[in-house]
Amino acid sequence: MTTLFHYVHCPFCVRVRMALGLLKTSYKSVVLPYNDEETPLGLTGVKMLPIVETNIDGESKAMNESLDIIKLFDKDNTLKHELLEDEKVRKNINDLLDAIAGPVHNLVMPYWIYTKEFNEESRAYFQAKKEKKRGPFNDLAKRSPEFLDELNKVLNGLENKLQPFYNSSELTILDIMLASHLWGLYVYPEFQFPPYLHNYLQSIKRKCAFDYHQDFWSGYLGD
Ligand SMILES: N[C@@H](CCC(=O)N[C@@H](CS)C(=O)NCC(=O)O)C(=O)O
């Protein structure tokens, strides 16, 4: 039995959900409240998700790091993990993710905390932690035009790289990394995805049988 401990909003957790969906690996989904420190610390010693608990060499083990988790389950190398061994490719995708994560997270964090994933305590915990780095969420929400401009500049350079997948005719680990970082934008009110990007994300959603919101309603959130 494999259990995935995750946060619905977390792009690194979304990576694992997408990949396990693509690989048709079944697992038990456990969404943890963001303020639960005890469970992740008890499993891996670090307050960081995703965590997978699974049978490795006949023993139940817990591990984190999204890319290591995906590699463990991708026995046939469907996602072409060797791409990330090329220094240029790795730097290129990590630079792109950094450029996306800055504006995306500034835009969506003030909205994520009002999704069903959060309750009063986990919302306060998340907000206090993130505001230390980013400043008050109220200010972030007011500055959204600035972040949208910043994001659109990055997205403009992306269209000719999706062929139809990221620099590839086939879906690879790079698409899992890119799509999961963009997915949070679906929670931002009125964000207009350029059609090419919406089509790209939706094709990944279909291939990965991915449903961002399913865990809001699946009973694992303690209701
Ligand atoms: N390198 C890790 C990054 C995971 C990560 O940053 N997770 C964040 C959520 S997006 C986390 O658990 N943060 C906990 C906290 O800051 O309290 C991976 O790829 O799995």
Task: Write out the residue limits of the CATH 1.20.1050.10 domain(s) in the chain.
Answer: 81-207
The tens digit of pLDDT for each residue in 61-81 reads 999 999 999 999 999 999 999
Name the residue with the closest Cα to ligand 1, atom 11.
48
3-state secondary structure 122-148: HHHHHHHHHHHHHCCHHHHHHCHHHHH
Name the residue with the closest Cα to ligand 1, atom 10.
10
Q: Return the ligand 1 atom nearest residue 9 CA.
A: 10
Measured torsion, CA atoms of residues 13, 97, 205, 36, in degrees rounded to the nearest 10? 20
**Residue 223's pLDDT band (boundaries 50, 70, 90)?**
very low
CA of 9 to the centre of ligand 1 (A): 11
How would CATH label the architecture of 3-76? 3-Layer(aba) Sandwich (3.40)
**Is residue 217 classed as helix, strand or coil in its secondary structure?**
coil
Task: Please say whether the beta carbons of 194 and 155 come within 8 A.
Answer: yes
Query: What's the pTM?
Result: 0.96
Each residue of 154-174: b (16+ CB within 10 Å) or e? ebeebeeebeebbeeeebbbb
Task: Write out the residue limits of the CATH 3.40.30.10 domain(s) in the chain.
Answer: 3-76
The tens digit of pLDDT for each residue in 97-133 reads 999 999 999 999 999 999 999 999 999 999 999 999 9
The CATH number assigned to the domain with range 81-207 reads 1.20.1050.10
Residue among 14, 2, 17 nearest 53 (CA): 2
> Candidates 9, 12, 129, 131: which one to mutate for ligand 1, based on the most atoms within 8 Å of Cβ?
12
CA of 80 to the centre of ligand 1 (A): 23
